[in-house]
Structures are given as structure tokens and as C-alpha cells.
Amino acid sequence: MSNSPSYSAYQKKQSPSWAIREQLDHPVIDTDVHTIEYTPLLEEYIAEEGGAASVEQFRAAIARGFGYLGNAWYDQSWDERRAKRSTRPPWWALPTKNTLDLATVSLPALLHERIQEAGIDFAVLYPNIATFAPHIGNPDLRRIVVRAVNRFNADLFRNYSDRLTPVAAIPLHTPEEGIAELEYAVKELGLKAALIPGYVNRPIKALADKYPRDQHPDVAQNGFWVDTYGLDSEHDYDPFWAKAVELKVVLTTHSAGMGWTARRSISNYMYNHIGHFADASHALAKALFFGGVTRRFPDLRVGLLEGGAAWAANLFADLVGHWEKRNGRAIENYNPASVDKALLAELFERYGSDVLRGKSLVDGDALIGGALGRANNFRAQDPDRLDDFAAAGIEKVEDIAARFVPNFYFGAEADDPTVAFAFNEKALGARLNAFWASDSGHWDVPDLTEVLADTYRLVQNGALSEQDFRDLVYTHPYNFYAGTNPDFFKGTAFDGGVKKVKRAA
């Protein structure tokens, strides 16, 4: 007989998060709880969608790591890893020592029973395979697995919808693919929130033509560019954004940046991991902003999960600072046509002995023709492409907040102190929409009964006010979901308990 403590013993343990929840006068919404699929049952759904062969393909894809961060590392020697610069993939990513939590995120009935023990009234779920499936490279297998995953999770959590709802996995290799699955997930399965990949890796055409994938797989593995939909994409994604708005579905993303540029250590997972979700979200948010997506679709809402809020505050401040220096009018401060060549030559003649060193004085044309700095600083540019903020429709600094703040929500984990940056309106000139995303179910959370208490410590140490905390765990999550779909919380544990939630000033 096992000496492990029974679940009843765990139940009797005082939960620090439940103690916090009892003090609050508002619900708590967790926007990111990870669940683990029971693979044998999921494979039955995959077989229903694509037959037995698709199950074998799925298993092979799992073994490879879906190709977006491959597991080939494990089959390579250290010399091969160095030669190929193979990124060390994630490992030991689940709370295995805490067996109760491991079972909790694997069993819907147990999760439903324990969610309040974590101080949570309602949770949006991110099944693990759902986060990976949209990145499968094989288009046929991708569609089969995505459809199976969505049916599986819709069926599995339907009886627990008062406190739990899973996201729908939506592939976006093309807008048409995304629209088809979004409509099916919402209209046929009744799913209310969607998970899109933060990007699609696409082959660089010049390399793909010269080094075909079937002959040069290593070149194909590395010769890609990152399509973030909003800017310079191969496809027009406006029909997809329009469909999301029409269906009143919020979009979220949970994609990894590991394997990008500097995040390619062959030996250190933490080196690759730290900041990688923020990297991927940073790229997507910039693309949607600069590509004018948030201007054309002001009602579009995108939740960027697990990267914290510090990068969001930094991005917003960068947008303001860069626009002030390089907007369509200010850019003329750097136009080489504005150089007073006579004055430049005169100043060199008067003060230039240290650099001229007896050489003949060059005239102004020569100075800006290559003698000063890089040639790119003085080359003529397309007059229609001088304003990088044009597509975003930024005419005044207030437009930046209008195109950024309402559209983006930023998932902050329970122990993330940088969430305070998002609420620092005095520094930023705006209050960003950080919302609570505990990441329970992964190694970030050794004990799900402590997540809310972890976050409340920010109030206790003065980093957040009580109002900040309320906005983080309730107001912002509520506005994100119910602001788009007023019926999102209909039939949930606190349906009817809230007449209206006002956005914090």
C-alpha cells in the first residue's frame, strides 16, 4: 500500500490562495491554466478525423517536437549539436513531484473540484497539445490534429463549463485555414476563446529554391523567416481578423521564441527560455500595430500570454519615443537634402585640422557623399515610405495609445513583479491591460494552491494597490472576454453576480 497522503488529507491543508480569495469582494479569473491531454483518448479523436495513419504521423510529430523546436537534439552527440547549433529544447516541464497537481491538470473533474482551492472562480484552459498543434508543418496533419484537439477538449470540459473553458486551437498558415477552424470551433463546438500561433515560420524563397527541403533539410530547418501576419506577410489576414470580430471571439497567443537568434544555446534551457514568450509576443504586437491591423479593426482583442508585462510597457514607451523622433514630419530632421553644404564645408575648414591633417578640404557634396558616416544615412529614399507609422494611422501621440492600449492584453504570471510596470501610468502616460495568467500546470507553478497568494504579495509589499490587483485578476480579464462577447460568462459560477464592470481609469 502506498504511503502517499490521501487527497482528503490535501483537502484539509489550508490553501493560502483560498485565504486571499475569501478576503476579496470580487471574483478571480485565471486566463492561463495548462492542462495535459490523456493521449490514448486524444488519439481516438485523431483517428476519427484522419484514420490510423494520422495517429502514427501525430506520434512522429510529437517525437520530433512538431518541427518548431525540434527534439533532434536528444539523438545528437555534443559535436553534432555544436556543428548544427541545435537548440536545447524544453525538458522536465511538468510538476511531477506534486503528484496531486499533475493529476489535477490531467483530470477535468479533479481540476473543477480544486480550482477554488487555488482561489480561482473561473479559468481559461490551454491544453498542451493545443499550443503546439497549429505549428505542425504538414498541412494535412495540422488540420486533422487541430480539429481533433478542439473536439476532444470541447467534449471533455463541457460538463465543467461553470468554472472552466478551453481555448480553440486555430492554425494560421493561411487566413482561409484559420477562418474555417474558427467558424467550426465557435459555431459547431461552442468554444468561446481562440489560440492562434504568434507567427508562422516560412521558408526563405531564395534559399528554398537553391536548397530544396528534401535534399537539404538542415538548410530548410534554419533558412526561414518569421511571418507575424500584420506586416510584410505573404497573405492578407484582414479577412481572418474580420471573422474574429464578427464571431465576437478574442484571440490569444502562446507561442515560443526559443530557437530565435540569440536563444539558441545548445546546452542551457534557461538561457533559451528566459524572455522567449515576450520575444514572440513583442514581434506579433509590433506587426499588428505597424501593419495597421489595430487601426482597421479597433474591436480586435489579442491576449499575449506568459511573457509578463514589462516588455509591453517597454514596447509602448518605445513606440511613443520613436514616433516623436521619426514621425512623418520629424523625419525631415534627418533628410540629407536639408544639409547646408556650404556651412558644413565652412565648419570643416575652420575646425577640421585634427581630422583633415593637411589634406585638401572636401566640399559639402563629398562630405555627405561618403566621407561622413555610412552611405545609407545620405541615400535618397522613396518619399512614399518615409513614415513608418503611416499604416498605423498615427497623426498625434495620443493615437498610439488608441491603437495599442485597447487591443492588447498582457498575461502576467503569478510570481511576476514586473506587472507593476503596466500600471505605472505616470511613467507611461497610459495604463496597460495586464491580466492574470497563472501558468498553472507547468514547472512555473510548483503548487497551484499558492498562485493567488504569490500575486497578492505584490499588494502586501506595496508594488500594487488593491485596485491594481482587482484589475489584474478580475477587471481586465472580465473586460477582455465579456467586452467582446457579453455572453462569455453566461452560465458560469458568477453569472449574474456582476451587472457591469467598468474599465479602470
Q: Is the pLDDT of residue 224 over 90?
A: no
Are 248 and 304 a contacting pair, CB within 8 Å?
no
What number is the average pLDDT over the span 68-88?
85
Beta strand extents in 173-307 (DSSP E only): 193-196, 200-203, 224-227, 250-253, 302-304
Which residues neighbour 232 within 8 Å (Cβ) at sequence distance 6 or greater? none
Q: Could you give the CA distance from residue 213 to residue 211 in angstroms, rounded to a whole number?
A: 6
Length of the chain: 505
What number is the average pLDDT over the span 101-106?
95
Q: Could you give the CA distance from residue 241 to residue 175 in angstroms, rounded to a whole number?
A: 9
What pLDDT does 499 receive?
44
Phi then psi for residue 168, to 5 deg, are: -95, 130
Closest CA to 15 of 503, 451, 308, 470: 451
Residue corresponding to grid cell 491543508:
13
What number is the average pLDDT over the span 197-217?
89
What would the grid cell of residue 244 be?
Answer: 474574429
Q: What angle do CA 61, 164, 171 make, to 5 degrees?
A: 35
What pLDDT does 1 receive?
39
What number is the average pLDDT over the span 452-471?
95
Return the half-sphere exposure (C-beta side, CA atoms, 13 A cut-off) of residue 252. Answer: 29
What number is the average pLDDT over the span 119-129?
95
Give the residue with greater pLDDT, 193 vs 5.
193
What number is the average pLDDT over the span 408-413?
94
Q: Could you give the CA distance from residue 274 to residue 285 in angstroms, rounded to a whole number?
A: 19
- Neighbouring C-beta atoms of residue 40, cutoff 10 Å: 7
Return the half-sphere exposure (C-beta side, CA atoms, 13 A cut-off) of residue 422. Answer: 28
Q: Is the pLDDT of residue 503 over 80?
A: no
Pick the range with the lowest mean pLDDT from 221-225, 245-249, 328-332: 221-225
Q: Could you give the CA distance from residue 439 to residue 430 in angstroms, rounded to a whole number?
A: 26
Give the residue with greater pLDDT, 188 vs 68.
188
pLDDT tens digit sequence for 20-55: 999 999 999 999 999 999 999 999 999 999 999 999
Q: Could you give the CA distance from residue 30 to residue 99 in angstroms, rounded to a whole number?
A: 22
pLDDT-derived band of residue 349, with 50, 70 and 90 as boundaries?
confident
Residue 420 burial by Cβ neighbours in a 10 Å radius (0-12, 13-18, 19+): buried
Are 474 and 448 a contacting pair, CB within 8 Å?
no
Q: Is the pLDDT of residue 249 over 80?
A: yes
pLDDT tens digit sequence for 372-410: 777 778 888 899 999 999 999 999 999 999 999 999 999
What pLDDT does 2 receive?
45
What number is the average pLDDT over the span 448-467?
94
What pLDDT does 57 receive?
95
Q: Is the pLDDT of residue 370 over 80?
A: no
Q: pTM for the whole thing?
A: 0.92
Are 269 and 368 a contacting pair, CB within 8 Å?
no
Domain limits, CATH 3.20.20.140, in the chain:
16-325+408-482
Instruction: Output the average pLDDT for the chain.
Output: 90
What pLDDT does 365 receive?
80
Are 237 and 291 a contacting pair, CB within 8 Å?
no
Return the half-sphere exposure (C-beta side, CA atoms, 13 A cut-off) of residue 493. Answer: 19
Beta strand extents in 9-60 (DSSP E only): 29-35
Percent of the chain with pLDDT over 70: 94
What pLDDT does 355 receive?
85
Write down the CATH superfamily of domain 16-325+408-482.
Answer: Metal-dependent hydrolases (3.20.20.140)
What number is the average pLDDT over the span 207-236?
89
pLDDT tens digit sequence for 258-307: 888 888 899 999 999 888 899 999 999 999 999 999 999 999 999 999 88
